Amino acid sequence: MQPNEWLFIGIFLIVALILPAVPIFLAQLLNPKRPSKMKQEAYECGVETVGDAWVQFKVQYYLYALVFLIFDIEMLFLFPWAVAYNQLGLFALVMMAGFVGILGIALIYAWRKGALEWL
Amino acid sequence: MAEFLVSSGWNANLAQIVASVLGAVVLASFGLVWIIFSIWLERKFAGRVQDRLGPNRTGPYGLFQTFADVGKLLIKEDITPEGADKHIYNFAPILAVAGIIAIFAVIPFNHVWVGADLNVGVLYFVAVGSLATLAILLAGWSSNNKYALLGAFRAIAALVSYEVPMMLSLAVPVLLAGSMSMQDIVKGQSIAYIFVVPVSALIFFISQLAEVGRSPFDLIEAESEIIAGFNIEYSGMKFAMFYAAEFIHAFVICVLTAILFLGGWRGLGAGEPGYELFGFLMVMMKSVAVYALVMLIRNTLPRIRIDHMMAFNWKFLVPLSLVNLLVVMFLARPFVPDYAAAEAAVAAGGLAGLFGSIFGSGFIAELPRAVVLLVANVIMFAAATQLLHRYGETQRAKLGVKDVQPVRATAMASD
C-alpha cells in the first residue's frame, strides 16, 4: 500500500489531462490552416443552417434526469451499507430492504405516470 | 521506488512526488499504447467477421496501420465552426480521454501493481467515468450544431439511465467482499463472482456496454440518423481523441468486468509472491477474452432504437437489478464466509482438508454462499428470460405477426 494515495490520484489526473493535449498541440503545429467562410459553417446535412443550436429542447430529458437523480442519491446510502454488510444484523438488513422497496414503488409510480415513455 | 530515492539521499516528500509522477506517466501511457494495439485488433477482427482480410499492407499483418492513421490525422486541417464556444469546444476531447484514462489509477493489475488502492475505489471509477459523459455534453453543446446537440442529449439521457442498473449491480460485489477497494474485491473472490452472482455480472456488462456506446447501443453516434451525433463538427486530432476515448473505454469496461466478476489477477496460482507478471498476464487474458465478446457483439447485433433502449433499461434492467439486490441481500447474510474457521477445518484434515489442499481454504469458506446464491441467480435468470419471452409474444400478437421467419429463409424463398 502506498503512503499517500490521494497524492497519486491528483498527479494522475493532471497527467491524464496532459497526455491527450499533447497530440492536439502537435497537430496544431503540423496541420495546414486555410480557413474559409464556407468551411467554417456548421455542417447540418448540407442544408444551410438557420439560427444557432442553443434552442429549447424536449422536457422528456428532464424527467429522465429526475428519475436518475433519485436513484443516484439512493446509491449514496447503499454503498456505505454494502461495505458494512458482513457485520450488520437483521435490523439493518430489513431497513435497507424497506428502503429499496420504497424506491421500487417510486419506480412503479414513475412508470404508471408515463415518465419513462420516450415520446 | 520512493524508498530507493530516500535511501540515496532524497527528501522523503520530494521522493514520493517524483515516484508518483513516474508511476502516473507509465500507467497512463500504458492505456494510450494499448489502444494502438486494440484498434488494430478490432479492425482485424471485424475484417474476419465480415469475410475480408482487414488491414494488411502497412507492416507485418498491418500492425502499423494505426501509426499511419495517427500520422494522417496529425496533418489534417482542424476546423472550428464559427459560432462555437471555443474554450469548451477545445477542452471536450481532452476531457473525454482524461476521464477514461483516470480509471486506470485504481485498477489492480496484480497484488502489488496498482496505482492507488483507494478504499473507495469503486466510487472513484464511477465518478471519474462520468467525466467522459460530461465531455459528450460539452462537445455537443459547444459545437453550435443542432445535430450535435440532439446527439449529445440522446447520449446523456441513455448514459445517465444505464448508470442506475450499473450501480445497483455494482453494489453486489461490494456487498459480498465487504469493501469498495478494488484489491479487496479481487481478494474476496476465491470463487469468481461470475459463478456466484451471474445475473449481476450480466447486468453490469450490458450497462457498461451501453455506457461505451458500443453496438447494439451505438445509436448515440448513429451516422444514418443524427450524422454521428455529438462529435460531428470535430475534425483532425480532436476527432481522433473522441475515437481514442471510445476505444480505451471499451477496453476499460473489459478490465473492470475481469476484475469485479472474473477474479482479476487470481487463478492458477497467480497472486503468490514472485508471480507478479503472471498475475498481470491473468488480468490481461481475462480482459481480452471479454473484449473478444464485445467485438463479437459489435459485429453481429443490429442497432436498437432509442425508445427501445430506454424502455429496456427502465422497465427491465432497473427492476431486475432491484430484485437481484434484494435476493442477494437476504440470502448472503447467513453465509458470510468465515476464513479463519475454514483455515482451521482445512488444517484439521478430513474431507475439508482434501478439498482445501486443492482449491485453498478461501474456496471452502466461500462455497456455501456461492452455492446458495448461484441457485437463486439461476432461478432469477430463468424467470427474467421467461418474462421477456412472454412480453415478446404478446407484442407480436398485438402487431399481428404470426411467427418469426429467419431473414435468410425468406430471402432464399424469393430467389
Residue B137 Cα, gap to closest chain A Cα (Å): 13
Query: pLDDT: is B32 or A112 the higher one?
Result: A112
- Is the domain of B183 the same as that of B278? yes
d(CA B16, CA B21): 9
In a domain, B300, yes or no: yes
Average pLDDT, chain B: 82
d(CA B282, CA B167): 26
SS (H, E, C) B202-264: HHHHHHHHHHHCCCCCHHHHCHHHHCCHHHCCCCHHHHHHHHHHHHHHHHHHHHHHHHHHCCC
Name residue, grid cell 430467389.
Answer: B415
In a domain, B415, yes or no: no
- Is the domain of B71 the same as that of B109? no
- Is the domain of B344 the same as that of B325? no
In a domain, B405, yes or no: no
In a domain, B317, yes or no: yes
The residue among B281, B308, B332 that closes a domain is B332
d(CA B197, CA B185): 14
In a domain, B2, yes or no: yes
pLDDT digits (tens, 9 = 90+) for B183-193: 888 888 888 88
pLDDT digits (tens, 9 = 90+) for B142-152: 887 777 888 88
Question: ω into residue B337 within 30 of 0, thus cis?
Answer: no
d(CA B123, CA A65): 20
In a domain, B281, yes or no: yes
Residue type, B87: H
Contact between B148 and A86 using a beta-carbon 8 Å cutoff: no
What is residue A1's predicted lDDT score, i.e. its pLDDT? 43
ipTM of this complex prediction, to 2 decimal places: 0.87
List of chain A residues whose C-beta atoms are within 8 Å of the C-beta of residue B136: none
Do B55 and A6 form a contact (C-beta atoms < 8 A)?
no
What is residue A34's predicted lDDT score, i.e. its pLDDT? 80
When pLDDT is cut at 50, 70 and 90, the band that residue A46 belongs to is low
Which conformational region is residue B345 in: left (phi greater than 0), alpha (psi within -120 to 50 degrees), or beta? alpha
pLDDT digits (tens, 9 = 90+) for B270-315: 666 777 788 888 888 899 999 999 999 888 888 888 888 888 888 8
Smallest Cβ–Cβ distance between A40 and the set B79, B98, B104 belongs to B79
Average pLDDT, chain A: 81
Give the best residue of A1, A19, A29, A58 to mutate against chain B (max B CB count within 10 A): A19
What is residue B415's predicted lDDT score, i.e. its pLDDT? 46
Query: pLDDT: is B62 or B285 the higher one?
Result: B285
Scanning A17-46 for CB atoms below 8 A from B yields 17, 19-21, 23-24, 26-28, 30-35, 39-45
By the CB < 8 Å criterion, does A66 face chain B? no
In a domain, B408, yes or no: no
Q: Averaged over A72-90, what is the pLDDT? A: 85
What is residue B203's predicted lDDT score, i.e. its pLDDT? 93
Which residues lie closer than 8 Å to B337 by C-beta, 6 or more apart?
A: B362, B365, B366, B369
pLDDT digits (tens, 9 = 90+) for B20-58: 788 888 888 888 888 888 888 888 888 888 888 888 888
Largest CA distance in chain B: 83
What is residue B187's predicted lDDT score, i.e. its pLDDT? 85
What is residue B200's predicted lDDT score, i.e. its pLDDT? 92
Residue B347 backbone dihedrals phi, psi, to 5 degrees? -65, -35
Number of domains in chain B: 3
Smallest Cβ–Cβ distance between B102 and the set A4, A16, A64 belongs to A16
d(CA B332, CA B72): 55
d(CA B347, CA B356): 9
Do B319 and A71 form a contact (C-beta atoms < 8 A)?
no
CA torsion through residues B217, B307, B201, B132, sign: positive
By the CB < 8 Å criterion, does A73 face chain B? no
pLDDT digits (tens, 9 = 90+) for B109-127: 887 777 788 888 888 888 8
What is residue B65's predicted lDDT score, i.e. its pLDDT? 85
What is residue A44's predicted lDDT score, i.e. its pLDDT? 67
Side-chain half-sphere exposure of A92, counting CA atoms within 13 A: 13
pLDDT at residue B411 tops 60: no
Name residue, grid cell 448514459.
Answer: B159
List of chain B residues whose C-beta atoms are within 8 Å of the C-beta of residue A17: 94-95, 98
Domain map (residue ranges) of chain A: 5-112
Side-chain half-sphere exposure of B76, counting CA atoms within 13 A: 18
The residue among B277, B305, B332 that closes a domain is B332
3-class SS at B343?
Answer: helix
- Is the domain of B356 the same as that of B217? no
Determine the structural domain holding residue B49 and report its residue range.
1-75
Cell of B193: 463472482
Structurally, what CATH architecture does the domain formed by A5-112 represent? Up-down Bundle (1.20)
Q: What single string gives the DSSP state of each residue in chain A?
A: --S-HHHHHHHHHHHHHHHHHHHHHHHHHHS-----TTTTS--STTSPP-S-S-----THHHHHHHHHHHHHHHHHHHHHHHHTGGG--HHHHHHHHHHHHHHHHHHHHHHHTTTT---
d(CA B376, CA B378): 6
Question: Residue B123: enclosing H or E segment and its boundaries?
Answer: helix B121-142
Q: What percent of chain B has pLDDT over 70?
A: 90
The residue among B281, B297, B332 that closes a domain is B332
